[in-house]
Amino acid sequence: MRSLIGALAALVLLAEPALAQEAARRYGDFPVIGSRAAVWVAAQLHLFFAAFVLGVPMFAVVAEVIGIKSGEERFDKLAKEFTRLLLVSYSATAVWGAVLVFALVTLYPGVWTYLAEIFDVSMWVYVGIFFFESATLYLYYYGWDLWKEGRAKWFHWGLGILLNLWGTTVMFIANSWLTYMMSPPAEVTPDTAPGMVQFWSAFANATWMPINIHRLIANVVFGGAIVGAYAAYRFLMAETDEERAHYDWMGYIGNFVAISALIVLPFAGYWLGREIYEFNQQMGITMMGGFMSWLWIVQAFLIGVLFLTGNYYLWVGMGRIPGAERFQPYTKYMLVVLVLGVIVWATPHSMIASRDEISAMGGQFHPFLGVLGVMSAKNTAVNLMILTTFLSFLLYRRANKEPVVGWAGRGTMVQGALFGIAALVVLFYGVYGYFVPAIVRIGFSVYQVLAVLSTIVAVVVLDVLMLRGATSRGEIRWGQMPPRSQYALFILAVTFTWLMGLMGFARSGIRQHWHVFEVMRDTSVDAATPALGYASVVISVCVLIFLGMVAFIFWVGGLAEKPIITKAARGEGPHAALQPAGGD
């Protein structure tokens, strides 16, 4: 018996180093900030740059085809300037992607090995498409002047379309990996080996397509916001009226793209939230009603800032449009709707209160604020804000145009009636939602969304038909914008960057202590979900790093346009005598 115990003890002693080495290989240790924060920062910065290089090519090809069809040189110049920003940004995306891979391999080797066994084929496809995307980008940019005339310009535009297809495919593949960690298919259990997991069910999991659509729209918003910030920077640094006019127009295009996509982004977010609830109700409750509930209050304020700032930029821009003065008195009423909408949207259902405060309120829920904190009120508020923002764009578009069609008056009345009907539908279902069960109330949001989207489509169609052949009240005075309007574009870029990071934390954090939800448990020292305060600090650091690198990209982009003139070329310096005095 003693010899058996001795043999077992010797076996344990021999196995202990191997077990320790296996445990050491499972998780690495990053100095100072820890492994979780290191991977978090690398992933977030990679996603910021990836969103930019996916969003910007979309406007580049749209601007280019408008230039081809209209023959206006400014659209071609705009598209090329968009593309020039991609060159450095694309390199930064690849660098941070490599950093992220190295961080996962060295700090979370167990997680990386598990995912690689399931998604190995898609990872090789991802790398192959990345090479094709790189080659297409360089051909698209450096062949700009070569393929500018005749049928060649359509070949060049086709390269831009191909660039967008490659980028979207790359995003869809990468989204399958991250959504699998959040919503693995039903057949995947903690006892299932990676080799037993069906590839397509893991790839096209429950939240894959909602994330694809949500990120696609969000990338357009993000790209528009960053392009607007770039235009604002160039506007403030411009030395001539011509430069200011060009970058003022470019800033308007960026803002238009960002806010237009922002209008439909909440609807994609609702779809994603609904799929999360359907996949796992507890995960949905954790996201919206658990420890993350106050994160959505922060999100509401940030989105409110985006809506207010985007509208403010448009209202200030009306000052450079002849005829816009007839619409400016209405902006104060629109501001009231937006502010009230933000207040309602940012109102929490339950308050963080002391025992005495709870007693004074008569319970956990404030008798007034508790009513505004439910989704009936919030859905109503955000849909009315979207309608108001769309009205701002409509007034801006109509400002310097005079319709000549005979039915213009009746068409305007129909447009007004459509706005009124949509607002009534939104208000009706918002109020009715208080008198039905929660499961019925959730369905009301679909009717509100349909009413708003139908109104937007119908009003745009009417407006296009109504303004055919319209006369102009005067040319837009591009470049005549106060500096504060450009600061609004900076605010849009910073706010949306911060919001993207915050929502990334919400999506990833609901997995809590799981690498793969209810399949692969996180047993590292960082297994607990970070508090909102800590997450805000990490996200803020990521935003500062990203914006610092974007500022460098803006500076490099400016260098590409300004030829370097040496002192000798100006007739200065020690080698001035070697330069010819004049002539050829």
- Kindly give the confidence (pLDDT) of every residue in the chain, 584 residues in length, as a single tens digit, with 9 standing for 90 and above: 434 334 333 333 333 333 333 444 478 888 888 899 999 999 999 999 998 888 888 888 888 888 888 778 888 888 888 888 888 788 889 899 999 999 999 999 989 998 998 898 999 999 899 889 989 999 999 888 888 877 888 898 999 999 999 999 999 999 999 999 998 887 776 666 666 677 888 888 889 999 999 999 998 888 889 889 989 998 998 888 888 998 999 899 888 888 888 888 888 887 888 888 888 888 877 777 667 777 888 888 888 898 999 999 999 998 888 888 888 888 999 999 999 998 888 887 776 667 777 777 777 676 777 677 777 888 899 899 999 999 998 998 888 888 888 888 899 999 999 999 999 999 999 998 888 886 677 778 888 888 998 999 999 999 999 988 888 888 888 888 999 999 999 999 999 999 999 988 988 888 888 888 888 888 888 888 888 889 999 999 999 999 999 888 878 766 666 543 344 344 444 333 333 333 33
Tokens of 86: 């991609």
Number of domains in the chain: 1
> Could you tell me if residue 414 is inside a domain?
no
Residue with tokens 């002693």: 13
Instruction: Please say whether the beta carbons of 542 and 48 come within 8 A.
Output: yes
* Strands 514-516, 520-521: pairing kind: antiparallel
Angstrom distance (rounded) from CA 444 to CA 267: 13
Phi, psi (deg, nearest 5) at residue 350: -120, 145
pLDDT at 100: 93
How far is 547 from 566, CA to CA, in rounded Å? 31
Q: In what helix (H) or strand (E) does residue 260 lie, and over which residues does it extend?
A: helix 241-279
Closest by CA to 41, choosing from 112, 124, 123, 107, is 107
DSSP strand pairing (514-516 vs 401-402)? unpaired
**At residue 46, what is the residue type?**
H
- The answer as to whether 381 is a domain residue is yes
Q: Which residue has the tokens 């937006």?
A: 338
What's the start-to-end Cα distance of the chain, in Å? Answer: 105
Q: Which domain holds residue 261?
A: 33-401+485-523+531-559
pLDDT for residue 12: 37
Q: Which residues contact 113 (CB under 8 A, 6 or more apart)?
A: none
Q: What proportions of the chain, in percent to the nearest 5, are helix, strand and coil?
A: 75, 0, 25
Instruction: Count CB atoms within 10 A of the CB of residue 264.
Output: 18
Residue 266 DSSP SS3: helix
The CB density around residue 31, as the number of other CB atoms within 10 Å, is 7
- Please state, in angstroms and rounded to a whole number, the distance separating the CA atoms of residues 219 and 240: 32
**Cα–Cα distance for residue pair 385/387, rounded to 1 Å:** 5
Rg (CA), the chain: 28
How far apart (Å, rounded) are the C-alpha atoms in residues 216 and 453? Answer: 18
Task: Look at residue 456 and tell me if it is in a domain.
Answer: no
Length of the chain, in residues: 584
Q: Is residue 436 part of a domain?
A: no
What's the pLDDT score for residue 291? 73
Q: Is residue 500 part of a domain?
A: yes
Does the pTM surpass 0.95? The reply is no
Query: Tokens in use for 412?
Result: 């305007």
**Alpha carbons 342 and 303: distance in angstroms, whole number:** 8
pLDDT of residue 270: 79
* Dihedral sign (CA 122, 127, 132, 134): positive
For 353-363, letters b (16+ CB in 10 Å) and e give: eeeeeeeebee
Torsions phi, psi for 75 (to 5 deg): -70, -40
CA angle 524, 528, 530 (to 5 degrees): 125
Q: CA 553 from chain center: how many Å?
A: 19
Do residues 529 and 295 make contact, with C-beta atoms less than 8 angstroms apart?
A: no
CB 324 within 8 A of CB 392: no
Q: Phi and psi dihedrals of 516, rounded to 5?
A: -115, 120
Query: Does 353 fall in a domain?
Result: yes
Pairwise CA distance, residues 12 & 7, whole Å = 9
359 located within any domain: yes
The two beta strands, 471-472 and 514-516, are: unpaired
**123 within domain boundaries:** yes
E-strand ranges in 289-419 read 401-402
Q: Is the dihedral of CA 65, 69, 70, 74 positive or negative?
A: positive
Distance CA 397, CA 403 (A): 12
Which contiguous run of DSSP H or E holds residue 515? strand 514-516
Helix H or strand E encompassing 501? helix 483-509
From residue 308, give the alpha-carbon distance in Å to each of 272, 311, 488, 493. 25, 5, 10, 13
Q: Tell me, what's the pLDDT at 580?
A: 35
Spatial separation of the C-alpha atoms in residues 273 and 288, rounded to whole Å:
9
Give the torsion through C-alpha atoms of 517, 521, 524, 525, to 10 deg: 70
Question: HSE (CB half, 13 Å, CA atoms) of 345?
Answer: 25
**Which helix H or strand E contains 297, and what residues bound it?**
helix 295-317
CB 235 within 8 A of CB 554: no
